[in-house]
Amino acid sequence: MPRIHCSIVPPYLLDRIAGLGDPQLALASRAARHALVELDPVLQNRAEALSAPVRRGGAVVGTLHRRIHDAGTREELPGTLLREEGATATGDLAADEAYEGLGATYALLSEEYGRSSVDGMGKALHATVHYGMNYDNAFWDGEQMVFGDGDGEIFTRFTASLTVISHELTHGFTQYSTNLEYQGQSGALNESLSDVFGVLVEQRLLGEPAETASWLVGKGIFTDQVEGEALRSLKAPGTAFDDDVLGKDPQPATMADYVETSSDNGGVHINSGIPNHAFYLAATALGGPAWEGAGRIWYDAVVSGSVLTDCDFRTFAGTTHDAAVQRFGAGSREAGAVAGAWTRVGVPV
């Protein structure tokens, strides 16, 4: 099976950093150029989605099994084993953060939704830390998680953010449940699902209700030199960062500002702000733990069998509404909240 890279840092950010002429950010520019070199062939082949078996059915009993490896700044996988299931903390921050993040993501899927790991069949969760020298990204490669340590000028270590870990691992869940094509609106939905379940992992771990959660993806991976909180915001797309070097967060919140572009695989990291915001609106309308309300509805939709590889926003909106009706009833508060959320972002249900 070919491997693909679903990476956390959008190519438009890497492009901007790579083109910097500031000698004080020379290391960051070199790191971004290198990350783009690795990303380019991935983006060219992204349309050829993995032919992984789709597993939408009920979960099987599984046991969490994690293995964390150290690449030692090389770009070779998996690297030297640092920690596996049940072992004590290593003292290596990246390794221990990856271990805990994988566990928190597994717990959401297993304990809330009854799914045994990302594939529904108890797949072991493997990760490699300290990948590359000053490597500016983290990604799911179709089989395992990989984390760079950042360049130290713009990005710090990517395991510092739980939502980065859970976002990337959710690409594995999507791979095995819908395998959404990584292009245009279906690709934006692919990215959005990772953001949605990524923030739900963090909210559940912290015990945060929808009303008080940050709704940020990637908080903690920028250095203090960057004017910005995170890579993306579900609460307010377009406001996560506004920096002299990085520019302004380009995500739209509604279809009125949908970005037509040939870059970023048709704007998969940009237009994901629209379904992201729809989820936020549904979750906050329902209130309480989002992983129990809107999260359950989104999960039901994903595994329903109705989300095909070329699914667009309108189709997915209808599928989430159908899932709410099936679980809670046609006249339920939940179904109304979902329909209202999609309507507010300009996607008819």
Q: Which residues contact 114 (CB under 8 A, 6 or more apart)?
A: 58, 59
Asked if residue 3 lies in contact with residue 143, where contact means CB atoms within 8 angstroms, the answer is yes
Length of the chain: 349
Picking from 202, 266, 272, the residue whose alpha carbon sits closest to that of residue 231 is: 272
DSSP per residue, 210-256: TTT---EESTT-B-TTSSBS-SEESSSTT-SBEETTTEE----SSGG
Residues 6 or more apart whose Cβ sits within 8 Å of residue 207: none
**Which residues are part of the catalytic machinery?**
168, 269
Tokens at 59, concatenated? 């979960």
Which H helix or E strand runs over 147? Answer: strand 145-147
For 215-244, letters b (16+ CB in 10 Å) and e give bbbbbbbbeeebebbbbbbbbbbbbbbeee
Tokens of 154: 């713009």
Question: How many whole angstroms from its chain centre is CA 281?
Answer: 18
Asked whether 277 and 253 are in contact (CB, 8 A), the reply is: yes
232, 240 Cβ separation under 8 angstroms: yes
Q: What is the Cα–Cα distance from 92 to 82, expressed in whole angstroms?
A: 9
Exposure class string for 25-60: b at 16+ Cβ within 10 A, else e: beebbbbbebbbebbeebbeebeebeebebbeeebe
Under a CB-based contact definition with an 8 Å cutoff, are residues 68 and 95 in contact?
yes
- The CA distance from 21 to 105, in Å, is 39
